[in-house]
Chain A
Amino acid sequence: MAADKEFIRLLKEHQKIIYKVCNLYMQSHADREDLFQEITLQAWKAYGNFRGDSKFSTWLYRVALNTAITFFRKEKKTTHIYTTDELPDIAGSGYDPIEDQTKAMYAAIGDLSKVDKAIVMLYLEDYSYSEISDLVGITANNVAVKMNRIKIKLKEETKKYLATA
């Protein structure tokens, strides 16, 4: 079918969005694979309602974050604390203060709640407060307040990670 092909083509083009969401929400490779599959499925089911009012990437973010937040895993009662060793090293070996800061910040983001992670994800993608507000469904003012609080929290948590590293 043409819709299948079109959807798969768009998904292939934008699959990095799903990977980013999976990396942010899940720690183990297996869980990331499961979430990837779930988001792909949900996106396919919802694709019939996509009318092109917004960009496909924005629509996919909405589906991906909605799915990631509501992804139900009964056995996962505790929040995972990311360790800086688990994170991919993009700068290579050797001491790099920026790299350490990034790793610590990444770990701190990993400790945020599901809802806060969604807001940070969109913020990192340079969505405005108003666009985040439209996607998530809370007021732009609330997004700003939350983002402010998240930034302070991340700063404190990053310091803690760096102190223990």
Chain B
Amino acid sequence: MELDELKILLNQKLETDHLLRSEKDLADLLSQKAQSIYAKIKRSLWFEIISSFIIVIAFGYIGFTSKYQSINIYFSFFTALFIPFILIFFYLLNKTNKINQSNKPIKENMQNLVDLMEEFMKRYFQFTMALIPICFTFSFALGYNEKDPIPAIDHAFEDYNITKGFLIGFTIGYLVALTVGVFYFTKWYLKKLYGNYVQELKKYIAELQEQA
């Protein structure tokens, strides 16, 4: 038998196996926690917002309380840098909400969210990678121009008899290791927070677009 011949019976089957809920039961459900891909992405964005807040507070505290000028400038600069980041996360949260709650067709909704998150992940990755040389150059410049000696660093030079050649070699090695580490960590982090969900949505979009 074909699908059309069984339409009524199939509809009956789909309507069975449940107890109808009262208005009170339905009202109670409205305060529960969501689990859709949209909700997971929003949770990831909230995680980033909270993390950024903690970083702003911690960096701000170091920036304002350290007695070394180089550390003051360095941490204050990054405190200021993280504030627009928080605003971007709120903007994304708002956009995700709008997409999720829109009355557009299913495929269009999914495509809009994928486009938004892909652009965000691309920019996030580029920005993180660009920060490495900026941080390095900035910290070197600040350290070089620091008026007050920093005992921990000065002692390290004396105690371990660090030569100029070793310092240059170590710095290059550290920079390379940091770049490679940040590269893979950021890829993994973005995939974990957003990429897996974006892939899932792309799979459904591809299936919808697919012609027999």
Interface residue ranges, A against B (CB under 8 Å): 4, 8-9, 11-12, 15-16, 19-20, 22-24, 32, 34, 36-38, 40-42, 44-46, 48-51, 53-54, 59, 62, 65-67, 69-73, 87-88, 90, 98-99, 101-102, 105-106, 109, 113-116, 118, 120-121, 123-126, 134-138, 142, 145-146, 148-151, 154-155, 158
Contacts and interface: CB of A to CB of B under 8 A. Distances in A.
Given A45-B101, A134-B105, A137-B105, A72 B15 contact: no
Given A71-B35, A115-B204, A124-B14, A105 B6 contact: yes
Q: Ordered nearest first, which 10 A-B pairs have the shortest CB separation?
A: A137-B105, A137-B107, A46-B101, A70-B37, A149-B212, A20-B14, A102-B9, A115-B207, A40-B29, A88-B16
B168 interface: no
Nearest to A11: B26
Interface of B: 1-3, 6-7, 9-18, 20-23, 26-27, 29-30, 32, 34-38, 40, 97, 100-110, 197, 200-201, 204, 207-209, 211-212
A62 B211 contact: no
A23 B17 contact: yes
Given A71-B36, A88-B17, A138-B107, A154 B26 contact: no
A67 B107 contact: no
Nearest to A20: B14
B3 A120 contact: yes
A137 B3 contact: no
B26 A146 contact: no
Given A15-B20, A148-B212, A70 B201 contact: yes
A121 B10 CA distance: 10
B72 to A, nearest CB: 44
B21 A12 contact: yes
B110 A70 contact: yes
Contacts of B35: 34, 38, 71-73
Contacts of B103: 46, 49-51, 53-54, 59, 62
B38 A70 contact: yes
A44 B3 contact: no
Given A8-B27, A70-B37, A145 B211 contact: yes
Nearest to B5: A101
Contact of B109 (A66, A142, A151): A66
B36 A142 contact: no
A88 B13 contact: yes
Nearest to A142: B211
